[in-house]
Structure 1
Amino acid sequence: MTHFSSAKIRPKPDTKGNLTTVPKVRLYVEQPESTDWFVHVGHVTERGRWRTEAHAHPAYGQVIFICKGRGVMNLEGSDVPFEGPCALLLPTDCVHGLDYELDADRWVVTIEVSYLTQVNGKFHEFIALWAMPRVIPLSRVAGSETEFYGLVLGLKREVESDDVGHVVGAEALLTTLLLRLVRAATLQETRSEGAVRNDVRLVERFRKLIDEHFRENLPLQDYASKMAVSPVQLRAACASAAELSPTKMIHARIITEAKRNLIFGDMSVEQIAFELGFADAAYFTRFFRKEVGQAPSQFRAAARQQPQRQNSPS
C-alpha cells in the first residue's frame, strides 16, 4: 500500500539543461503538473522484492527512511548495501536505482529543490549533509528510529492539514528532521563555526558554477573571478570544506558525467568526448584513464556486464 501527501506554496524550479541520458522522474505521486508544493511525504509498503531502474530527480532532494527490510542502492553505477533502520539521502540529480531485497516498510520525504536551497542556507551543516548521497544508519543512536518515525508522521499530518499555520508547522518539522539526520551522520566541525560556514558556502557556490560550466574547459581563474575571490582563497576553501583541490572537483564532475553517459547512454566515446568539451576522443580517453584507471570503452564494458536490474516505476 502507498500513501502520499504534499505541502503546497512553493513554485517549481526551471530544470533546463539537465542530463538527457539518464531517466528523469518527477515524483512517485499522481499530482497535477501545475500543483505548487515544497515537501511531499509518501509511505510505501510493497511486499516481497521491489526494484527500480536507475533514474534521477533533478528538481528534488529525497530522503527514504527504511523502517525495516534491506536492499542494495545502485549509486552512479556502484552497489551500496543498506539495511533498516536507516535513511537513504539522495541529493538532486543523483543517479540511483533501488533493489529492495526483502519486504521493506519505508517513508519517502521529497523536498523541492528551491526550498531545499533555502533550508540549506539557514545552517551550513545542511549543505554538508546534502553534498553527497549517503546511507545513514539509525540504529547507532538509541531511540532514533522511534524519533524519526514520530517526526515523519508529524510532518505528514501537517502537510495534509488545513489548520492555521500548517505550512509553518511543516517547515519546522522538516528542519528538525534534517537536523536529526545531521546529528545521526555525525558530521563534525574541525574549525570555528564562522570560518567553516564561509568555506562551505563558497564551495557550494563553486559546485553550482561547475555544474553550469564544466563542459566549457574554463581555467580556475575564470571560476574564481565569477565568485569574486582569488584562486588562493578558492583552493583554501575547497581544501577545508571538500578536502579536494578545485581542479579535482572539476575533474570529478566531468568524470561523473562521463560515467553516466557510458553506463546509461548510447553515445559513442567520441560523441561523449565532444559533449564534455574535449577537442578529440584520444585526449578524453587519456584523461578518463588517468582519473579512473580504465579506458572509457573498458569502463562501459565492465559496467554493462553487471546483472541488469528489472525495470519498474520509480
Structure 2
Amino acid sequence: MTHSSKTTSRHESDTKVTLKTVPKVRLYVERREEEGHWFVNIGHVTERGRWRTEPHAHPGYGQIIFVRSGNGVMNLEGSSIPFEGPCVLLLPTECVHGLDYENDVDRWVVTIEVSYLAQLYARLHAFIQLWSLPRMIAVPSTTGMASELFDLITRLAQELDAKLFGHVVGAEALLTQMFLLLVRQARLDQPDDGGASGNETRLAERYRELIDQHYRQNLPLQDYASMMGVSVVQLRAACAAATGHSPTKMIHARIITEAKRNLIFGEMAIEQIAFGLGFSDAAYFTRFFRREVGEAPSQFRLTAREQSQRAK
C-alpha cells in the first residue's frame, strides 16, 4: 500500500505539520491494584437545562452512554445526529464527538478501557462489528429493553463498587450481556458464529492497533505482518474473516477517517493535511480521497461546514 506516486518521503521536508486538530480528553478512571490493567467505570450524570461538550476524542477508551430521558444532538465526526431517550450512544475509542443536551437529561456513562474491549471481541464476532462504528441505538420503551439495560448497568456499578469475591468475573458477565443486548437491538447483519476463530479475531485487532500507530508512515503490509510474527497471507485471511475487509482497505479507512477529521475540525490547508498523512504529493492525496469518499477534499470540507452551520 502506497500513499504517493513517487518515493520521496514527507520526512525530507523541514516543515513540521501539526495534526492535533481535535482535543484528546484522557478520562481519569482509577485503576485498582488487584485488577491490573483491566477496568470499567460507571458514571451517573443528571443535568438541569441545556449542557454541551465541544467535539473531542477519548484515546484508550470506548463509551456507552445510556440516555434514560431527555434529548439532544450528537456531533459525530462532523455530522449532526439527533437523539431522544431512551437510547444508547456508542462511542468507540478515538471517535470524535460532541454532545449538546437540549433538555434535562438523565444518563449513565459506561467507560471501558480499549484493551479490555479487545478481550471481549474474541467472545463474539458481532462485538467487533458493534464497536467498528459510532452508533445511536434507539431503545423502544415498549420492548422492555430500557428497563433491562438500566438493570444491567446498575448491577454492573454495584458489582464494581462492592468488590466482593469474583467481582471481576461478575462484571465481565454483566458487560457481555449488555453488549449482546446492544448487538441484537442494533440488528447487525452478522451471523451468530461470525466465521472467525479467536486467533483470527485477536490478530485483526492487533493489526488495527498497529494501523493506529503507523498509518502515517506508508508501511508495506509485510512490515505489519513482521511486527505480528505472521505472513502476509495469514494477515489477509484474519482480516477477511474477522472484519470482512482486506488489510489495505483497513489502512485506507483509517487514513480517510483522519483526513475527514482534519478537514472538518482543523484549519490546515489540503497540502498540509496530505503531508501530515504521509502523502508526498497533495494531488495524489486528492485523487485518493476522491476515490474513497466520492468527492474532493475541498468540496467535502465546504459541505461539512455548511451542514454544521445549518445545525446551529
Measured against the shorter chain, the TM-score band is: 0.7 to 0.9
Name the counterpart of 1:14: none
* Residues 228/136 of structure 1: CA separation in 2 closer, same or farther (3 Å cut): same
Change (3 A) 1:286 1:189: closer
Report the structure, 1 or 2, having the larger helix content.
2
Please say if residues 72 and 100 of structure 1, whose CA atoms lie closer than 8 Å, have aligned partners that are also in contact.
yes
Q: Runs of 5+ in structure 2 lacking a partner?
A: 1-18
Instruction: Report how far residue 222 of structure 1 moved.
Output: 4.0
- Structure 1 residue ranges without an equivalent (≥5): 1-18
1:288–1:296: 8 Å Cα contact kept in structure 2?
yes
Superposition CA RMSD, Å: 3.1
Q: How far did residue 220 of structure 1 move?
A: 3.6
| CA displacement 1:191-246 (0-9 Å, x = unmatched) | 85554655544432332232222112233444445455555554455445434343
Equivalence map 1:1-314=2 (5 Å): 20-27=20-27, 38-139=39-140, 142-187=143-188, 189-190=190-191, 195=196, 197=198, 199-227=200-228, 231=232, 234-235=235-236, 237-305=238-306, 306-307=308-309
Q: Secondary structure at the match of 1:25?
A: coil
| In structure 1, distance between residues paired with 2:91 and 2:284 | 32
Moved more, 93-102 or 241-250: 241-250
Deviation at 1:91, TM superposition (A): 0.9
User: Matched residues in 2 for 1:269 and 1:186: separation?
Assistant: 38
Residues 1:94 and 1:277: Cα distance change in structure 2 (over 3 Å): same
Give 1:152 shift: 1.0
Aligned to 1:254, the other structure's residue is in SS state helix
CA shift in 2, pair 1:247/1:32, >3 Å = closer
Amino acid at match of 1:213: H
Query: Who is 2:11 aligned against?
Result: none
Closer, same or farther in 2 for the Cα pair 1:261/1:66, shift >3 Å? same
Conservation of the 8 A alpha-carbon contact between 2:125 and 2:196: no
How far off its partner does 1:147 sit?
A: 0.8
Q: 1:21 aligns to what SS in structure 2?
A: coil
With 55-64 and 155-164 compared, the bigger mean Cα shift is at 155-164
Q: CA deviation at 1:296?
A: 2.4
CA deviation digits over 1:7-27, x for unaligned, max 9? xxxxxxxxxxxx732111123
What secondary structure, in the 3-state scheme, does the structure 2 residue paired with 1:48 have? coil
Query: 1-side partners of 2:225 and 2:94: how far apart?
Result: 25
Secondary structure of the equivalent of 1:42?
Answer: strand
Change (3 A) 1:150 1:263: same
TM-score scaled to structure 2, two decimals?
0.79
Deviation at 1:125, TM superposition (A): 3.0
TM-score w.r.t. length of structure 1: 0.79
CA distance, structure 1, for counterparts of residue 41 and residue 258 of structure 2 = 28
- Superimposed CA distance per residue, residues 71-127 of structure 1 (whole angstroms, 9 cap, x where no aligned partner): 222111122232222211111111111122332211111112223233333443322
Inter-partner Cα distance in structure 2 for 1:194 and 1:239: 10
Report which structure shows greater RCO (CA 8 Å, sep ≥6).
Answer: 2
Counterpart CA distance in 1 for 2:242 and 2:165 is: 40
Bigger shift: 53-62 or 236-245?
Answer: 236-245
Secondary structure of the residue aligned to 2:115 is helix
The structural deviation recorded for 1:189 is 4.1
Secondary structure in structure 2 of the residue aligned to 1:307: helix
SS at match of 1:136: strand
Q: How many correspondences in the alignment?
A: 290
Letter in 2 for 1:26: R
- Identical positions, percent: 65
Does structure 2 conserve the Cα–Cα contact (< 8 Å) formed by 1:66 and 1:104? yes
User: What residue is the counterpart of 2:9 in the other structure?
Assistant: none
